[in-house]
């Protein structure tokens, strides 16, 4: 029977926090750079913003790949299960809220009353759904580990 | 799926952390395996088999 080389120790909570903090720092840096480039004349400002975001997202994804390869299979299963069930459940709850607000004219103030642009409204809706997804994900992840203790 | 992981580990006087280190997984994963609440992948099942020097079917019981 073949023998394994000494297996690597899987990444723990410290690595998870490190990735979160690192991605947060990159996001903050990207936000700062956006502030510098947004004053540029079109189309340079748009191109510069897109480039900054693309680089920040690529760094974030690379950090996630590094972390994903380092965790063990049960940890991966917990995250997959949580993202599917918790993320989908959170999206459903957030979707109900947003659809209720958008399908009923009197349920919320109009865009003009809020003084928001179309882009800001779009981004706001996207962030709200993302927050619901992340909340559902966090609850489902904790539930998975509690169930599998 | 039931398994004999806890017995095999106790026979060797290993802690969950010891077994986790030998398998390259976290202690929480070993705990989830021992309680039968998580079934390992085939590669991990083979690693377990090698660590205990026993065939997979002698460790895991399909009930």
Q: Does B45 touch chain A (CB under 8 A)?
A: no
pLDDT for res A133:
97
Q: Classify strands B60-61 and B2-3 as parallel, antiparallel or unpaired.
A: antiparallel
B54 touches A at CB < 8 Å: no
CB contact under 8 A, B37 and A7: no
The closest alpha carbon to B17, from A9, A148, A5, belongs to A9
Domains of chain B, earliest start first = 2-54 (1.10.260.40)
Put simply, the chain A residues between 30 and 59 with a CB less than 8 A from any chain B CB are none
A14: pLDDT strictly greater than 90: no
What is residue A1's predicted lDDT score, i.e. its pLDDT? 47
Find the helix packing angle between A44-70 and A13-37, rounded to 10°: 180
How many Cβ atoms are within 10 Å of A48's Cβ, its own excluded? 16
DSSP element (H, E) containing A42: none
CA-CA distance, A68 to A144, in Å (whole number)? 18
Give the residue from A114, A25, A124, A14 showing the smallest Cα distance to A67: A14
Name B2's Cβ contacts closer than 8 Å, sequence gap at least 6: B36, B60, B61, B63
| Contact across the interface for A74 and B38, Cβ inside 8 Å | yes
- Do residues B45 and B56 lie in contact, with contact meaning Cβ atoms separated by under 8 Å? yes
The predicted structure's pLDDT at residue A6:
67
Q: What is the pTM of this model?
A: 0.79
Given an 8 Å threshold on Cβ–Cβ distance, is A147 in contact with B28?
A: no
Q: What is the CB neighbour count within 10 angstroms for residue B17?
A: 11
Q: Please report the ipTM that was assigned to this predicted complex.
A: 0.81
Mean pLDDT for each 10-residue chunk of chain B (63 residues)? 93 95 93 91 95 95 80
């Amino acid at each position: 029977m073949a023998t394994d080389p000494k297996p690597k120790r899987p990444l723990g909570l410290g690595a998870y926090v490190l990735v979160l903090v690192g991605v947060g720092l990159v996001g903050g840096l990207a936000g700062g750079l956006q502030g510098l480039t947004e004053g540029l004349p079109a189309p340079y400002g748009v191109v510069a913003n897109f480039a900054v975001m693309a680089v920040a997202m690529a760094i974030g994804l690379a950090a996630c790949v590094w972390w994903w390869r380092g965790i063990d299979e049960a940890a991966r299963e917990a995250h997959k299960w949580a993202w599917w069930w918790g993320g989908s459940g959170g999206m459903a709850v957030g979707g109900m809220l947003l659809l209720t607000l958008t399908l009923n004219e009197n349920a919320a103030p109009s865009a003009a009353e809020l003084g928001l642009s179309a882009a800001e409204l779009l981004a706001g809706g996207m962030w709200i759904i993302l927050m619901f997804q992340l909340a559902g994900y966090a609850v489902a992840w904790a539930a998975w580990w509690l169930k599998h203790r | 799926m039931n398994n004999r992981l806890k017995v095999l580990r106790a026979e060797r006087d290993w802690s969950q952390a010891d077994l986790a280190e030998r398998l390259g997984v976290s202690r929480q994963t070993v705990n989830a395996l021992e309680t039968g609440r998580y079934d390992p992948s085939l590669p991990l099942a083979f690693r377990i088999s090698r660590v205990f020097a026993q065939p997979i079917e002698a460790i895991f019981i399909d009930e």
